[in-house]
Amino acid sequence: MATRGRPRAFDRDHALRTAMLAFWARGYESVSTTELAGSMGISQSSLYAAFGDKQSLFREAVAYYGEHEGAIARRALTTSDTARQAVETMLRQSADRFTDRSLPSGCMVVLAATNATAGNAAVQEFASELRRRDEAALSARLARAVTEGELPGHADPGALAAYYHSVLYGLSIHARDGRDRPGLHAIVDLAMKVWPT
Amino acid sequence: MATRGRPRAFDRDHALRTAMLAFWARGYESVSTTELAGSMGISQSSLYAAFGDKQSLFREAVAYYGEHEGAIARRALTTSDTARQAVETMLRQSADRFTDRSLPSGCMVVLAATNATAGNAAVQEFASELRRRDEAALSARLARAVTEGELPGHADPGALAAYYHSVLYGLSIHARDGRDRPGLHAIVDLAMKVWPT
DNA sequence: TAATTTATGGACAGGTCACTACAGAAAGGA
DNA sequence: TCCTTTCTGTAGTGACCTGTCCATAAATTA
């Protein structure tokens, strides 16, 4: 089943990465499809033919972000030996990522869709849902740590997950405000003192 | 020197409050001046005559927010007997404010100007500067606590201020995501465990 | 070669954006 | 009473927005 019709003249994955970088740096509504097509080197028609509409493109761009940029921090949750190590690794690697000068600062899921007009409320809700999902994954990992005895029985996995995600969100804002890498790690140093014993 | 010319037919302060609520709820770029004038019950011309341009209106709206909504949490810094009490009061009152159902959730300074087009970068920088200023005030209060002996000499006021502000920023995102008041206070419970002894 | 399928760029619709020109209205001052 | 000052709404301005139409180009299939 070879592909019929005229073949696409641009690299779809590369275009997606361009969209991710733009949305990540400036947010969903501050990036126009006209501008995106321009920096992709293609026409509006090609963009719409390849990705549907702007919202679909954004969702794909966020998915791309999750696979390429967010994957490392997320994998810490499943590969670390202890829950404590998982949390600290997640925060440390986020601190490193958020201050990578070759990429936009902070986390795309936190910063790219914080506000929107009424017509784009779905985009906001989409990002919010992703944040909830990540937090639920952390909460589950902490709950496992309680049953395994790594965390004391009185520890509240839900509250701890919300707390560490709160710090994580804060790192994004701080990174956007220009705080440097050691500054973010100093915050993580303090945040880890909360770990129950 | 009585006021010359035709008197203004609307309440400037009330209009400013309307603008604050709109910008706070949906962000700078997602609120149009057309819509604002409409909900203020005045024409575009009246709005521009009273407030200048959109950026000036936003700055005034943020100042209004600072005086009416942010003042209580900020006053905790100067009126509390101890620095610890100051920090905890600031976080608790923010948690209460951020989940007040009669107002937009979260903090306007964190949420209303997180992203912007190139032409509105000044608005972003404005909000960023306000965050830095508040953090500097907290840092100064913590430094005082070190010299007064409330905090141990090895405590780092700058890092602590950055940490507590990180939690504060996180509370805004959590509030926007729908977390309820007890949920935010549970985060504050944990955050306060970092306090050096 | 002919038919089909898909991608392409250019031009353009229809809407909204921030902002303003203008003429008239409502006040104070002379 | 008339002038000056300021605010008022109407009706625009040009620029930009998302999304589409259309003729054409480039590939596979028959």
Tell me which amino acid residue B179 is: R
Nearest to B193 among A110, A165, A193 (CB): A193
Size of chain B, expressed as the number of residues it contains: 197
Is B183 in the A-facing interface, judged by CB distances under 8 Å? yes
Size of chain A, expressed as the number of residues it contains: 197
Dihedral sign for Cα A162, A164, A168, A169, please. positive
Q: List bases, strand D, within 7 Å of protein CB.
A: 4-12, 16-22, 25-29
Q: In whole angstroms, what is the distance from residue B163 CA to residue B195 CA?
A: 11
**Residue A82: helix, strand or coil by DSSP?**
coil
Would you call B187 and A162 a contact, using CB atoms and an 8 Å cutoff? Answer: yes
In this structure, is the CB of residue B35 within 7 Å of any atom belonging to strand C?
A: yes
Cα A2 vs. chain centroid, distance in angstroms? 35
Q: List bases, strand C, within 7 Å of protein CB.
A: 4-12, 16-22, 24-29
B88: tokens are: 């905890």
Residue-wise pLDDT tens digits, B143-186: 999 999 999 999 999 999 999 999 999 999 999 999 999 999 99
Dihedral sign for Cα A99, A103, A109, A113, please. positive
Residue-wise pLDDT tens digits, A66-120: 999 998 888 999 999 999 999 999 999 999 999 999 999 999 999 999 999 999 9
Q: In whole angstroms, what is the distance from residue A98 CA to residue A82 CA?
A: 24
Would you call B30 and A115 a contact, using CB atoms and an 8 Å cutoff? Answer: yes
Beta-carbon contacts of residue A40 (< 8 Å; ≥ 6 apart): A10, A14, A15, A18, A19, A47
In this structure, is the CB of residue A32 within 7 Å of any atom belonging to strand C?
A: no
Is A35 in the B-facing interface, judged by CB distances under 8 Å? no
Tell me which amino acid residue A132 is: R
B156: tokens are: 């780092």
Does position B1 have pLDDT exceeding 70, yes or no? Answer: no
Contact B106, B97 (CB under 8 A): no
Q: Is B86 exposed, middle or buried (0-12, 13-18, 19+ CB in 10 A)?
A: buried
Candidates A19, A28, A33; CA nearest to A112 is A28
**Distance between the alpha carbon (CA) of A6 and the C1' atom of D28, Å:** 9
Long-range Cβ contacts of A118-122 (<8 Å, 24+ apart): A120/A28, A120/A29, A120/A55, A120/B30, A122/A55
Candidates B110, B25, B124; CA nearest to A110 is B110
Does position B140 have pLDDT exceeding 80, yes or no? Answer: yes
**Distance between the alpha carbon (CA) of B20 and the C1' atom of C26, Å:** 29
Would you call B131 and A179 a contact, using CB atoms and an 8 Å cutoff? Answer: no
**Distance between the alpha carbon (CA) of A55 and the C1' atom of C3, Å:** 36
Is A114 in the B-facing interface, judged by CB distances under 8 Å? yes
Candidates A27, A106, A20, A159; CA nearest to B118 is A27
Q: What's A10's DSSP letter? A: S
For A45, the enclosing helix (H) or strand (E) is: helix A44-51
Identify the residue whose tokens are 């509370």: B171
Residue-wise pLDDT tens digits, B6-63: 999 999 999 999 999 999 999 999 999 999 999 999 999 999 999 999 999 999 999 9
The closest nt to B37, taking CA to C1', is D9
Contact A116, A123 (CB under 8 A): yes
- The packing angle between helices B54-68 and B12-26, to 10°, is 90
pLDDT computed for residue A73 by the predictor: 84
Q: Which residues of B touch A186 (CB under 8 A)?
A: 156, 159, 162-163
Does the ipTM surpass 0.85?
Answer: yes
Does position B190 have pLDDT exceeding 60, yes or no? Answer: yes
Q: In whole angstroms, what is the distance from residue B82 CA to residue A131 CA?
A: 35
Domains delineated in chain B? 12-65 (1.10.10.60), 72-194 (1.10.357.10)
Best mutation target among B105, B138, B173 (most A Cβ atoms within 10 Å) is B173
Question: B2 pLDDT band (50/70/90 cuts)?
Answer: low
